[in-house]
């Protein structure tokens, strides 16, 4: 899951703006610092309160790459948590509904999947994929 940042050289340093998420911008004194800040910015944009109905969009794979467009990937755990939440909301499902479909005894077992601290088993990942088939495991590992 790679987001696209448009980079601009400033008088002093660099600035970058995520093309998919409005308001996700950052800057750095040099390119190394900018790259670190872009990763932090995208992770902050994706790490939303669990009760929020707002969810950041997924990357737009139709954006043409150029010298000024940088790809930035969040950590895989965050990418998975974000995509699970994104598609659950897209399907208008509550956490309770999806927990029941997955066969969890309680909602808390499911809620962990929407946090980047979760490290689900392969069995759980396959169950997620069964219920939310749009999730691309390739995007998580990218």
In terms of domains, do 62 and 114 share one? Answer: no
65 and 8 co-located in one domain: yes
Q: Which of 2-16, 51-65, 103-117, 126-140 has the highest mean pLDDT?
A: 2-16
- Counting the structural domains of the chain, the total is 2
Q: Which of 44, 72, 100 is the last residue of a domain?
A: 72
Neighbours of 50 (CB within 10 A): 10
pTM, two decimals, is 0.87
Q: What is the pLDDT of residues 85-112, one digit of tens each?
A: 999 999 999 999 999 999 998 999 899 9
Residue 34: φ, ψ to 5°:
-60, -45
Residues 21-70: tens digit of each pLDDT: 999 999 999 999 999 999 999 999 998 766 667 788 999 989 988 889 99
83/68 Cα distance (integer angstroms): 27
In this predicted structure, what is the pLDDT of residue 138? 78
Domain boundary among 54, 72, 90: 72
Do residues 67 and 98 both lie within one domain?
Answer: no
**Which residue range is the domain that position 39 belongs to?**
3-72
Question: How does residue 116 score in pLDDT terms, banded at 50, 70 and 90?
Answer: confident
């Amino acid at each position: 899951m790679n987001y696209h940042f448009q980079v601009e050289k400033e008088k002093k340093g660099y600035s970058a703006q995520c093309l998919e998420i409005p308001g996700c911008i950052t800057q750095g004194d040099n390119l190394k610092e900018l790259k670190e800040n872009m990763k932090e910015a995208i992770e902050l944009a994706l790490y939303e309160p669990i009760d929020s109905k707002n969810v950041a969009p997924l990357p737009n794979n139709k954006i043409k790459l150029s010298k000024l467009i940088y790809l930035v990937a969040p950590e895989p755990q965050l990418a998975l948590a974000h995509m699970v939440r994104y598609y659950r909301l897209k399907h208008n499902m509550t956490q309770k509904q999806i927990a029941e479909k997955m066969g969890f005894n309680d909602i808390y077992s499911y809620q962990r999947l929407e946090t980047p601290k979760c490290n689900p088993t392969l069995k759980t990942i396959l169950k997620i994929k069964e219920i939310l088939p749009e999730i691309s495991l390739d995007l998580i590992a990218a």
